[in-house]
Structure 1
Amino acid sequence: MLTAPHPSSAPAKPVLDFKWPAEGIARAPYRLFTDPEIYKLEQDRIFRGRSWNFLCLDVELPKAGDYRTTTIGETPVIVTRDHDGKIHAMVNRCAHKGALVCLKKQDNVASLTCVYHAWNYGLDGQLKGVAFRNGVRGQGGMPSDFDVAKHRLQPVRIESFCGMIFGTFSTEVEGVEAYLGPEMAQFIKRNLDRPLRILGTHSQTIHNNWKLYAENLRDSYHATLLHTFYTTFKVNRLDMDGGIILSDEKWHHVSFARRAKLQEAAEYSDAKVHSANYESALEGPRLLKAWEEFDDGITHSIQTVFPNMCIQFTLNSLAIRFFAPRGVDKTELFWIFLGYDRDTEEQSQMRIMQSNLTGAAGLVSLEDGCINEFVQRGTRDDPGGASFMEMGGRVAESEKNSRATETAVRGFWQGYRGIMGF
């Protein structure tokens, strides 16, 4: 039965009949991907609960008056930079009738005005004026005790970390760096703690529950099997030196590999892993050339932050992915490809070229756009079933010498169960 959303919160009454399998985090009930009531509860307990959600990058709001629209779960959000350079976030919902205030993905404005009845807000979300507040020719208008200070856009608590703007509706959740934990925060600093440059963006809609993509990002086991390009061209394989680090609450993770330390394993031939046993060549071999950026030798990493973001580094391609639920069986996935201000033009071009590895039509990640839909379609008629996740064991613990494991996926479900109260 569903109980409290978090140990620090007051106990909640059960709201639906749901029991996790006795095997614990080594199973994920299929019902989680199709049940509209569970999906609705996630909006409250995860996205509007004790979590930090990636909103945008600081560099995406370079000038006073810039805004971007995004979502926290399904809640529409505006992020702005005011005329003093301060960043604000607020729900994109007019305090009058509830209409969206900002309709564009991004813009530069002096203030925010709802097109419906022209209620006007400052860049901090404070109501500044109401059309016809005093009526017309002395008739109508707002009551004499109407107070603009009591009608603003709902604020969202925000924090900036390594150039990323995070938002939360929770007043109790710890700060972002503490939420990440020391190992996760340090690895983000490795990749992002310097001035960033946006090289490109794109998005796609995938027809599956958002948690299937959250699983996919943590599943290092599938990468060498599904993504044949990785294996064929020795970009990321399980027989490279690498491992997985989980955060204290298990819901964030880092998976890493060192390309230079590949020792080809017999298991690739024994298991008849496709594309591992023949030679191929690229007409454009420059795609796979890279320079060593960090002294730790890591050439591939996937880092997740619960509930819905990822930082990837492959060769020299750096990107942020974040994804938003758009219904129980639909997810919107966004990609921001990055470089550093210090990059030379040649380095920028190499990063842009390598960005073809990932993204909606990437040489590597193309398959992820459909594989999670296969799971959605395969499980939707069996809400009583559950997935089996025992590769590498049955618990969620860091594994610093292997990625042939589903430990990070189990870690996601451990964190999910905690915040949902399952």
Structure 2
Amino acid sequence: MYRDPDVYTLEQEKIFQGPVWNYLALEAEIPNVGDFRTIEVGDIPVIVNRARDGKVHAFVNRCAHRGATVQRLIHGNAKSHVCCYHHWGYNLEGNLVGVPFARGVEGKGGLPEDFDKKEHCLRKMRVETLNGVIFGTFAQALEPLEEFLDTTFVNQLKRLFNRPIKILGYQRQRIHGNWKLYTDNLRDPNHGGLLHMFQITFGIARLNQTGGAMVDKKARHNMSWAAQDMGKNNSDAEYSTPRENNNLTLKDGSLLQYRKEFPDAYNLTIASIFPNCIFQQIGNTLAVRQIRTKSVGEFEIFWTFYGYTDDDTSMDQHRLRLSNLVGPGGLVSMEDGEAIEIVHRAIAADEDKHAFVEFGGRGPVGDQDNLVTEAPMRGFWMHYCELMGITPGADAHANA
């Protein structure tokens, strides 16, 4: 399931182009008419932009004529999108509006008389937004976005995007492993207090702290969470003093500081939405991560960091300082990339063998009241198999 190219190819059809809502972008990234960003949904290049009617539209970034990339910039503002190859032009809704020499030159050449621009639009996605977060799907009959997310995750997005936001910056990380090893990692809170040495050293992640995991009704989405231990006399020193007697200290202790900004006690939430995005609150660093597949053995994580428009300069700087915890050189997430790559390499010779995923027990997958669990991983794979047409426990090739 991790290394077979045929499985990867089928995923592009059954998962990313299947009955799922894919995260696309944030409305704050395209505030004005003509603003656009180019992204990927699985292997498919996509343009997300704001049209003249103020609405957000998304469509495949591939010319209907000969398949060239239409918009080659990562972001910008445009009145239309024009392919550089033969200058076919598309409006901000993805409709074909211009074809050079459509009637030929001096009555010679050109397109047939029955050519209809309406039949040669860019492939459009259905788009819905929730509190400024943009999702798109190729499945026109899919359930509405809020029903797909379910109550827990609708509430989490409303919690994180409770007021206008501003974009603070971006990071990209290329990982040489299968993209599902990353979704496994996100649904495995058990590793946080074991793998991440920065967290272990300074006591900001402990398996005995108040925490757990929540899932939706189909267990396809997961939110791992931790909270300031209620009813305990925790001091800042407990989190800033090295757990072991190794004499390690921080020159800037504010890297460990959490400024309470939500009415609840959560100081860490990692909400993973099937299949391709993560909404992150690690202390005061807020970000969206999008998984962008590249091949069966390579993917990219694209981080979008944000704060709130009413943040003062001090809070902006604090959020940016904490962004050092994640990303390709992050004090925390650097190890995630390494762990994924060593797993991907190690299983190459034994592709027919199985992983052992029973922390949290067997049976139905539901909410977890502790961090020593892998149950949400099984929830992801149950839904994955359903979409892929695979019977769990059976031979993948025979069912795929």
Judge same fold: TM > 0.5, yes or no: yes
How far, CA to CA, are the matches of 1:122 and 1:161 in structure 2?
25
Question: Counterpart of 2:154?
Answer: 185
Question: Counterpart of 2:227?
Answer: 258
Q: Residue 326 of structure 2 is aligned with which of 358, 370, 379? A: 358
Question: Counterpart of 1:421?
Answer: 389
How far, CA to CA, are the matches of 1:395 and 1:341 in structure 2?
45
| 2:262 maps to 1:278 | no
Percent identity (aligned): 42
Q: Quote how far apart the aligned CAs of 1:366 are.
A: 0.9
Assess if the C-alpha contact under 8 Å between 2:181 and 2:340 holds in 1.
Answer: yes
How far, CA to CA, are the matches of 1:54 and 1:179 in structure 2?
12
AA aligned opposite 2:340: N
Question: Counterpart of 2:12?
Answer: 43
3-state SS in 2 of match to 1:174 = coil
Question: Counterpart of 1:164?
Answer: 133
Assess if the C-alpha contact under 8 Å between 1:240 and 1:263 holds in 2.
Answer: no
3-state SS in 1 of match to 2:350 = coil
Describe the superposition over 1:267-321 as per-residue Cα deviations: whole angstroms up to 9, x where unpaired.
xxxxxxxx74336321111111221112221111111000011011111111111
Question: Counterpart of 2:103?
Answer: 134
Describe the superposition over 1:323-347 as per-residue Cα deviations: whole angstroms up to 9, x where unpaired.
1110000001111111011211111
How far, CA to CA, are the matches of 1:290 and 1:226 in structure 2?
22
TM-score for the superposition, normalised by structure 1: 0.87
Q: Residue 372 of structure 1 is aligned with which of 326, 329, 340? A: 340
How far, CA to CA, are the matches of 1:100 and 1:320 in structure 2?
26
Question: Counterpart of 1:94?
Answer: 63
Assess if the C-alpha contact under 8 Å between 1:33 and 1:380 holds in 2.
Answer: no
How far, CA to CA, are the matches of 1:396 and 1:37 in structure 2?
30
Assess if the C-alpha contact under 8 Å between 1:396 and 1:408 holds in 2.
Answer: no
The CA RMSD measured in Å over matched residues stands at 1.6
How far, CA to CA, are the matches of 1:71 and 1:45 in structure 2?
16
TM-score for the superposition, normalised by structure 2: 0.92
How far, CA to CA, are the matches of 1:385 and 1:49 in structure 2?
28
How far, CA to CA, are the matches of 2:161 and 2:366 in structure 1?
23
Assess if the C-alpha contact under 8 Å between 2:97 and 2:117 holds in 1.
Answer: yes
Question: Counterpart of 2:238?
Answer: none
How far, CA to CA, are the matches of 1:114 and 1:238 in structure 2?
53
Q: Quote how far apart the aligned CAs of 1:400 are.
A: 4.2
Question: Counterpart of 1:58?
Answer: 27
Q: Which has the higher contact order (CA 8 A, sep 6+)?
A: 1
Describe the superposition over 1:351-391 as per-residue Cα deviations: whole angstroms up to 9, x where unpaired.
11111111111111111121101010011111110100111
Q: How many pairs were matched up?
A: 381
Unaligned runs of 5+ in 2: 234-241, 391-400
How far, CA to CA, are the matches of 1:224 and 1:136 in structure 2?
70
Assess if the C-alpha contact under 8 Å between 2:213 and 2:224 holds in 1.
Answer: yes
Unaligned runs of 5+ in 1: 1-31, 265-274
Assess if the C-alpha contact under 8 Å between 1:67 and 1:106 holds in 2.
Answer: yes
Assess if the C-alpha contact under 8 Å between 1:396 and 1:410 holds in 2.
Answer: no
Assess if the C-alpha contact under 8 Å between 2:130 and 2:157 holds in 1.
Answer: no
AA aligned opposite 2:339: I
Residues 89-128 of structure 1: pairs in structure 2 closer than 5 A: 89-128=58-97
Q: Quote how far apart the aligned CAs of 1:262 are.
A: 9.6
How far, CA to CA, are the matches of 2:151 and 2:200 in structure 1?
32
3-state SS in 1 of match to 2:25 = strand
3-state SS in 1 of match to 2:363 = coil
3-state SS in 1 of match to 2:210 = strand
How far, CA to CA, are the matches of 2:333 and 2:280 in structure 1?
12
Q: Quote how far apart the aligned CAs of 1:399 are.
A: 4.0
How far, CA to CA, are the matches of 1:402 and 1:91 in structure 2?
42
AA aligned opposite 1:386: H
How far, CA to CA, are the matches of 1:400 and 1:156 in structure 2?
35
Check 1:262–1:211 CA distance in 2 against 1; reply closer, same or farther (3 A cut). farther
